[in-house]
A and B are shown apart, each in its own frame.
Chain A
Amino acid sequence: MEKETKRVFDVFRAVILLVVGMTAIAARLFSVVRFESIIHEFDPWFNFRATKYLVANGYYKFLNWFDDRTWYPLGRVTGGTLYPGLMVTSGLLHTIFRWLSFPVDIRNICVMLAPGFSALTAIATYLLASEMKNSTAGLYAAAFMGIAPGYISRSVAGSYDNEAIAIFLLMFTFYLWIKSVKVGSVFYGTMTALFYFYMVAAWGGYAFITNMIPLHVFVLCLMGRFSHRIYIAYSSWYALGTLASMQIPFVGFLPIRSSEHMAALGVFGLVQLLAFGMYMRSMISSTNFRYLLFATVGVILIVGFAGIVLLTISGVIAPWGGRFYSFWDTNYARIHIPIIASVAEHQPTAWPMFFFDTHMLVWLAPAGMFFLFSELRDEHVFVIVYAVLGSYFAGVMVRLMLTLTPILCVAGAVAVTTVLEPYLNGDMTEPARAPEPKGSFYKRFSRILDLSAPRYIYQKGIRLLTSMVIGYMLLHFVFHCTWVTQNAYSSPSVVLASARPDGSTFLIDDYREAYYWLRQNTDYNAKVMSWWDYGYQIGGMADRTTLVDNNTWNNTHIATVGKAMSSSEEVAYPILLQHDVDYILVVFGGLIGYSGDDINKFLWMVRISSGIWPDEIQEKNYFTPRGEYKVDAEASPAMRNSLMYKMSYYRFADLLGRNAIDRQRQQLIPNTPIVLDTLEEVFTSENWMIRIYQVKKPDVFGRTPKEARQWKSGIKRTA
């Protein structure tokens, strides 16, 4: 009987997990249903392009890939400067499907990779939470993980980015780590190292694991819980994991040089010493052991400190990186690196964003932490440390909400399970009770919140009521998650949707229209200049050579493009010729009121280029004398002569006549015709969102572009 019940429960668990996995996938398909199976945003287009290269050319060529079609004329050593895990995963899946005779297009694998892996993440979370409490908590955690918006934000269908597989790897590595701490076996330590290697190959965020595991061990040591289990787990993970991570070309020798990895090394040394100490204590008398202890600690402190100082001064250990430093001193970035401070993902998080992304989990988690504290096994320390540290990082930088969400799911699941246990218990027999504790006030107080006393609810009505209220709140959580997913996180941002007056959807597909025009109407080797935001998309969708792209490794090159965009035609033309530019692509939102257009980004182009050429480009020249940023008749001369302004508003007044109002900025564009000497309009998309210009070749008779244009239009050339 007992065995059979267990089997029934096992089947139930499997079915529930399956349903959770399916829900996790289904919740991420809004974008495919609403739009189509398409790669989203910017970075995924690069990942997609790299995957196609991998599938076409094989792994070794991929590792040695020098891409001469980006950063023209510099090129990029792509194979050595990316995390290959994502591309290799989808390439492998593609091969497996082929081998099984399923002819799947690589694009569909890339689009569906993130939802598929989110189902695996739910399972990994189930395993982790089961280790913390029981399999019921595991199922709750899996369900939370499947639908929590904080994770969905980076894993909807089409969001083909490193995070798509990295969160699964994060959770699974942590599960294996917890398992190896519990069991203390080399096998689990090795498995942890193996998945840690996969994580390093997949995402730059692997440093979170690199610091989280040592921190866990360190806290355990401080609590006096050092044991052989921990020694074995940590040593096998650190030794194998570090060696393995160095096999990734982009990581190389960082694990022994950069300061982000020093904590792991230090704790490795610490556990060796503690293990040695344990051994010595069993061998010699306690007075001798005390002398030995003091001597060793003193020597190690001095040598270690001097060593670190020396290595840092001599430059062997990299100094603290700016991005890393900005975590601790939050004013650092604002004063020293405005470009980091300007990126939206690096902004601090206000409380509504926590609530938006995790809803009730954000206040369930502290209750879960409390319940974990009352038992406080080794693995519980992990969850608590992770939750406190993760909430700090998520508060400093909004994108790190992604790493906080999983642990909130685990802690929240522990809270829900613990609170519902006595209320959902079908057993109505009253347990035997110990007498009321006596003693000091403090002792009685701490017993109030104790979980070890037998818990029993007398009335069925109360059981029902509590279950219903909490169930109702959980239901509300599901509605919230679905609403957030479909409204905030399911837009591909390549295709835009707006509503017509009658309420029907109107799809704005100008980006793809323009990229396909480029692909079909220009030479394969044509060079396209645009602001860096569109580099990956041009490379991915139009397959043309770009000057700059979203991998912003070379500030000077970006500044060159910025200078060309913000200078007059006379200044810009030589730059364009030097860089072999054939086409220029600008994004213009003035006709349909699109806020993410190039005129709104224009000041960044000016700022970045004035950082390199402060004498030629000055920000203040682009404002009116009253200090306003204007594009109408009052616009400053520098503004009106800039290439960007001319390309954006060329023939704009012809289209709308005397009412040429820019709908994004609500300003009237003067209808004096804009004249282009060096450029020729070749394409403008349906809603005027993308405009493409061809750069004219130098005049064969050696005239300036202006003279050539005047001669052609019949104005006689004056000597």
Chain B
Amino acid sequence: MKLSWLLPVAVAAASLEEILSRSKGGQPIEIFSDDEVKTILAEPREDTVIFVFTALDPSINCEPCRMFKPTFELLAKSWYTKHSGGLGLQFAFTDFKNNRETFQRLQILQAPLIKIYPGKRAAFSEEIQYTPTSAHMPAEYVAKEISQLIGIELKINRPTDWATVFLKLSIGLLVLTSVYFTARHIRTIIFNKFIWTIISIFLYLTFVSGSMFNNIRHVPYVGGDGHGNPAYFANGLSMQFAVESQIVTLLYGALAFAVIALATRAATNKNPSVQAVTVFSWLFVLYTVNAYLVSVFSSKQGGGYPFHLPPW
């Protein structure tokens, strides 16, 4: 990109080969201008082109675009690694930020949008428009749907994620070494009630604050309000952000801990005035956090919830 102001002529006249060579390394071909779009789509076309019109710039706040990006990259990578140079099928995309003319010329009003342009040997003759049923569908599913549309079988090869493998291996090693060095104490750890209490309650709290929802739906970590400010709570009872469920875990934990403290620490205190202060502060925590939780729930309900605890 840095060369573009040095060699403007060369860039403007990027030939088809140059554009197609961008697929080296298995990425989808990125298109930077309307002229390039015209070049790659020029009739007669050799190759079928799967073209994604997307808007990844944060200012546009297109969540589905961002969610679809890794899926599309995986599709392209799986194809290009088996078919060097494309062999009749190319994966291309253009971003609204770099290339407004194409969006205007083709009157594209939504993103992400996939258009499939037939090549010379394609089984279909008209361009096909395809919108994924839902942006968080797994790549396998998208591949199956596109395969049906174009009559070429796309297969997904998920690359081995060496980072994860390495992480898992090192965690395993860590566990093994710690077992080796603490072997004398391992019995006390395994049979320690307190450790198991913490583990059980922690597992319970993460499950009820929707961690499985986050794992299955791949929800974003935080949302936005459209003006660049982060939003920590999503709208609606069946939606949440990942940070939201972490906040809720903390709130639940605080409430449960307040109850435990009221029953144990506060009640066994031997000094009447210290006890009064302790009970009072834990009651304050219990009441305030609960009131805040109810207000968060109420705002997620969208106004239909009739109850609130003062001061909210």
The interface of chain A, by Cβ under 8 A from chain B, is 330-331, 334-335, 338, 347-356, 360, 362-367, 369-371, 373-374, 376, 384, 387-388, 391-392, 394-396, 415, 418-419, 421-423, 433, 446, 448-451, 453-459, 461-462, 465-466, 469, 473, 476, 479-480, 483, 487, 614, 620, 623, 625-627
* Interfacial chain B residues near A355, Cβ < 8 Å: 293, 297
Residues of B within 8 Å of A351, CB to CB, are 208-210, 213, 240, 244-245, 248
Q: In chain B, what residue has the closest Cβ to A421? A: B263
Nearest A-chain residue to B279, judged by Cβ: A462
Interchain CB contact under 8 A, A449 and B265: yes
**Docked complex Cα distance between A123 and B297 (Å):** 31
Interface residues of B in 255-278 (CB under 8 A from A): 255-257, 259-260, 262-265, 267-268, 270, 272, 275-276
When chains A and B are docked, how far (Å) is the Cα of A455 from the Cα of B265? 9
Q: Which residues of A contact B212 (CB under 8 A)?
A: 330, 348-349, 392, 395-396
Chain A contacts of B262 at CB under 8 A? 419, 466
User: B62-106: contact bitstring with A at CB < 8 Å (1 yes, 0 no)?
Assistant: 000000000000000000000000000000000000000000000
In the assembly, what is the distance between CA of A473 and CA of B309, in Å?
9
| A residues in contact with B167, CB < 8 Å | none
Q: Give every chain A residue within 8 A of B301 (Cβ-Cβ).
A: 352
**Residue numbers in A under 8 Å from B208 (CB-CB):** 351, 354, 362, 391, 394-395
> In the complex, A392 Cα to B209 Cα: how many Å?
11
B237 in contact with A352 (CB, 8 Å): yes
Cβ A331 vs Cβ B259 within 8 A = no
**Does B295 interact with chain A (Cβ within 8 Å)?**
no
Chain A residues lying within 8 Å of B13, measured Cβ to Cβ, are none
CB distance from B308 to the nearest CB of A (A): 10
- Does B215 sit at the interface, judged by CB under 8 A? yes
From residue B105, how far is it (CB to closest CB) to chain A in Å? 15
* B276 lies within 8 A of A350 (CB): no
Known: A349-B210, A450-B264. 4 other contacts (CB 8 A): A334-B141, A418-B263, A446-B194, A453-B268
A387 to chain B: which residues have CB within 8 Å?
Answer: 200, 204
A331 to B139 Cα, complex, angstroms:
12
Q: Count how many pairs of residues, one from A and one from B, have CB atoms less than 8 Å apart in the complex.
A: 189
Bound state CA distance, A392 and B213, in angstroms? 11
Number of interface residues of B (CB under 8 A): 72
By a beta-carbon cutoff of 8 Å, the part of chain B in contact with chain A is 113, 128-131, 137-138, 140-141, 148-149, 193-194, 196-197, 200-201, 203-205, 207-213, 215-217, 236-240, 244-245, 248, 251-253, 255-257, 259-260, 262-265, 267-268, 270, 272, 275-276, 279-280, 283, 286-287, 290, 293-294, 297, 300-301, 304-307, 309
11 contacts between A and B (CB under 8 A): A330-B216, A334-B141, A350-B213, A367-B256, A367-B263, A391-B204, A396-B212, A446-B194, A450-B268, A483-B307, A627-B130
Contacts of B263 in A (CB 8 A): 367, 371, 415, 418-419, 421-422, 451, 455
CB within 8 Å for A469 and B286 given contacts A392-B207, A433-B270, A449-B260? yes
The minimal Cβ–Cβ distance linking B82 to chain A, given in whole angstroms, is: 20
Q: Are A457 and B205 in contact (CB under 8 A)?
A: no
In the complex, the 9 A-B pairs of residues with the closest C-beta atoms, listed nearest first: A395-B212, A458-B272, A455-B267, A391-B207, A351-B210, A367-B259, A419-B263, A366-B256, A363-B255
Q: Which chain A residue lies CB-closest to B258?
A: A367
A4 to B201, CA, bound (A): 42
Which residues on A sit within 8 Å (CB–CB) of B215?
Answer: 330
For B300, give the chain A residue with the smallest CB separation. Answer: A352
Partner of B280, one of A331, A423, A462: A462
Question: What are the residues of chain A within 8 A of B213 when measuring CB–CB?
Answer: 348-351, 395
Complex CA distance for A350 and B235, rounded to whole angstroms: 12
Name the distance in Å between A428's Cβ and chain B's nearest Cβ: 12
A527 to B149: give the CA distance in the assembly, Å. 37
Given contacts A418-B263, A466-B262, A620-B128, contact A366 B207 (CB under 8 A): no
Q: Which of B201, B244, B259, B293 contacts A419 (CB 8 A)?
A: B259
